[in-house]
C-alpha cells in the first residue's frame, strides 16, 4: 500500500516541478505601483498547489509518531527579497512561502532549516523532504508558512554564512517582512500570532531571530512562541569542541562549512586555520553545487586533521584566536527571551551535543525566561526533528486556542 502511495506522491512532485518550470511570476519589481511603500520584497513566483487530500496522504506516508490534523490545501511560492550580508551590503535571497487555502490564517510559522550544502536542495526548490513536508505540516493546518533558504542557497550565489547569528536573523526577519508585503498584494490578512521553529543550524538561526525580533519590538512581528530543535547555541564552548572530537561522520563537514563562512565574513585567510590541502579545497567545495557525498570523499574522517598545528595548539591551550572571538560573537544563549521557548533535543544526538539545549535552558532560566528543555527520547540527530516536529505543531495549536 505504501509503495503505491509513494509512487502517487512522486507523481505529485513531478507535477509540481512541471508547474514550477513555467516562468510564472505573480509579482516582479516592474509590477509594483509607483509610490508603494519600500521594503525587502522583490518578486514572487508560483510553484505548485497541494490539496488537503494530497497533504493528508503525504503526512500519512511520513508516518510521524503522533497524528497531525490537515484541514486545508496550500499554494507554494518562491519569494525573492533583499537582505543584508555580513559586510552590511544588500543582496537578494530567496525563501519558500506556503499559503493555506482557507482564511483567516491561524498564525505565521517561520521554519529555519538544517544544514544544506547544495543550493538546489533549499526549501524554495521544494522536494518532499525539504519544503513540501514542512510546509504541509503547518500550512495544511491553517498557518501561513515561510522558510528562508539563507544566503548562498536557493537562488543566491553568495558565500553561505553558516552559523553567523546576525546574518541568519536578518535573512529570516527580512523574509517575514517581504512575505507580509506579498500577502498584502494578494489581499491576504496578516495574522497576529508569529511562531518560530527550526532544526540544527536552523535552531541556532531561530534563537538569533527571536532575539532580533524581541529587541526591535515590531508589533506586526510579535513573537508568540518559539521551538528550536537540536540546535547549536554555545558554539565556542560546546559546539566547536564537540565537533572537533569527530564523534559524527558529519563533523568535518560542519566545521569546514563554518570556517569557510567565518573566514569570508571576518576577512581572514583560510590558511590561518586550515592546513594544506584543505585551505585550497574547502573554498571550491562550498560553492553550493556539491552534494554531501563529495564532502565525505574530500574531507578527513578526523576533523582535527583539517586544522593547522598552530591553531590546534592555541585551541588546546585555551589561547585566544580570531576564530575563538568570532565563535563567541555568534552565540545565541546569553540574553533573556520574552516569548515562551522550548528547546528539543535527542539524548543520542552525535551531531549536536544535547548539552547545547540543556545548558542554554539553564542560562535562560537563570535570567528569568519562560523556557523548557525537552528530551524527545533516545534518538539521534536526524531522528530528533521527526520526533519533535509534531509536538511543536501541537504546542502552536494550543497557543492559538483554535
Res. 22 pLDDT band, cuts 50 70 90: very low
pTM equals 0.92
Whether residue 176 lies inside any domain: the answer is: yes
Residues 298 and 151 in one domain: no
Residues 284 and 319 in one domain: yes
Whether residue 239 lies inside any domain: the answer is: no
Whether residue 179 lies inside any domain: the answer is: yes
Res. 262 pLDDT band, cuts 50 70 90: very high
Could you say which of 313, 329, 345 is where a domain stops?
Answer: 329
Residues 343 and 286 in one domain: no
The mean pLDDT value of the chain amounts to 91
Distance from C-alpha of 34 to C-alpha of 95, rounded to nearest angstrom: 25
Could you say which of 278, 312, 329 is where a domain stops?
Answer: 329
Residues 315 and 349 in one domain: no
Between the alpha carbon of residue 242 and those of residues 45, 118, 162, 231, 362, the distances in Å are 41, 25, 17, 13, 19
pLDDT digits (tens, 9 = 90+) for 324-373: 999 999 999 999 999 999 999 999 999 999 999 999 999 999 999 999 99
Distance from C-alpha of 281 to C-alpha of 272, rounded to nearest angstrom: 14
The pLDDT value given to residue 401: 85
The answer to whether residues 162 and 87 touch, using CB atoms and an 8 Å cutoff, is: no
* Count of domains observed in the chain: 2
Q: Alpha carbon 34 to chain centroid distance?
A: 34
Residues 375 and 385 in one domain: yes
Whether residue 312 lies inside any domain: the answer is: yes
Q: Of 249 and 30, which is predicted with more confidence?
A: 249
Q: Alpha carbon 155 to chain centroid distance?
A: 16
Residues 198 and 226 in one domain: yes
CA dihedral of residues 202, 133, 16, 292 (deg, nearest 10): 50
Residues 218 and 358 in one domain: yes
The CATH number of the domain holding residue 316 is 1.10.260.160
Residues 288 and 209 in one domain: no
Instruction: Identify the domain containing residue 364 by its residue range.
Output: 2-233+331-400
Cross-sheet strand order for the sheet of 74-84: 25-27, 41-50, 74-84, 90-100, 143-148, 107-112, 194-199, 223-229, 341-345, 371-375
Could you say which of 329, 353, 380 is where a domain stops?
Answer: 329
Amino acid at each position: 500500500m505504501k509503495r503505491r502511495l509513494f509512487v502517487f506522491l512522486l507523481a505529485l512532485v513531478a507535477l509540481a516541478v512541471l508547474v514550477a518550470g513555467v516562468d510564472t511570476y505573480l509579482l516582479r519589481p516592474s509590477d509594483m505601483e509607483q509610490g508603494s511603500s519600500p521594503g525587502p520584497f522583490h518578486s514572487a513566483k508560483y510553484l505548485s498547489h497541494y490539496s488537503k487530500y494530497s497533504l493528508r496522504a503525504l503526512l500519512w506516508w511520513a508516518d510521524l509518531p503522533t497524528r497531525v490534523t490537515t484541514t486545508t490545501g496550500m499554494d507554494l511560492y518562491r519569494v525573492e527579497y533583499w537582505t543584508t550580508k555580513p559586510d552590511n551590503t544588500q543582496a537578494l535571497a530567496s525563501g519558500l512561502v506556503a499559503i493555506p487555502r482557507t482564511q483567516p490564517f491561524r498564525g505565521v510559522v517561520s521554519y529555519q532549516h538544517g544544514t544544506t550544502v547544495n543550493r538546489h536542495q533549499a526549501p524554495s526548490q521544494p522536494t518532499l523532504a525539504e519544503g513540501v513536508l514542512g510546509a504541509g505540516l503547518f500550512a495544511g493546518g491553517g498557518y501561513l508558512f515561510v522558510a528562508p533558504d539563507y544566503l548562498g542557497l536557493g537562488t543566491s550565489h553568495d558565500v553561505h554564512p553558516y552559523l553567523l547569528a546576525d546574518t541568519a536573523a536578518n535573512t529570516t526577519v527580512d523574509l517575514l517582512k517581504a512575505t507580509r508585503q506579498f500577502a498584502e498584494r494578494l489581499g491576504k490578512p496578516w495574522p497576529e500570532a508569529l511562531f518560530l521553529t527550526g532544526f540544527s543550524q536552523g535552531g541556532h538561526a531561530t534563537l538569533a531571530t527571536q532575539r532580533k525580533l524581541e529587541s526591535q519590538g515590531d508589533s506586526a512581528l510579535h513573537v508568540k512562541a518559539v521551538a528550536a530543535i537540536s540546535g547549536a547555541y554555545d558554539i565556542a564552548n560546546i559546539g566547536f569542541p564537540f565537533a572537533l572530537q569527530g564523534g559524527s561522520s558529519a563533523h568535518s563537514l560542519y566545521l569546514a562549512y563554518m570556517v569557510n563562512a567565518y573566514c569570508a565574513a571576518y576577512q581572514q585567510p583560510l590558511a590561518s586555520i586550515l592546513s594544506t590541502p584543505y585551505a585550497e579545497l574547502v573554498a571550491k567545495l562550498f560553492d553550493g553545487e556539491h552534494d554531501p557525498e563529495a564532502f565525505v570523499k574530500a574531507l578527513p574522517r578526523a576533523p582535527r586533521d583539517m586544522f593547522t598545528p598552530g591553531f590546534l595548539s592555541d585551541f588546546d591551550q585555551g589561547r585566544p584566536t580570531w576564530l575563538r572571538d568570532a565563535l563567541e560573537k555568534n552565540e545565541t544563549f546569553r540574553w533573556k527571551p520574552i516569548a515562551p521557548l522550548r528547546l528539543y533535543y535527542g539524548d543520542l544526538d552525535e551531531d549536536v551535543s544535547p548539552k547545547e539545549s540543556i545548558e542554554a535552558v539553564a542560562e535562560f532560566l537563570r535570567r528569568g525566561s519562560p523556557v523548557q528543555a525537552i528530551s524527545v527520547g533516545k534518538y539521534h540527530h536526524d531522528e530528533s526533528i521527526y520526533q519533535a516536529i509534531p509536538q511543536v505543531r501541537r504546542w502552536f495549536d494550543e497557543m492559538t486556542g483554535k
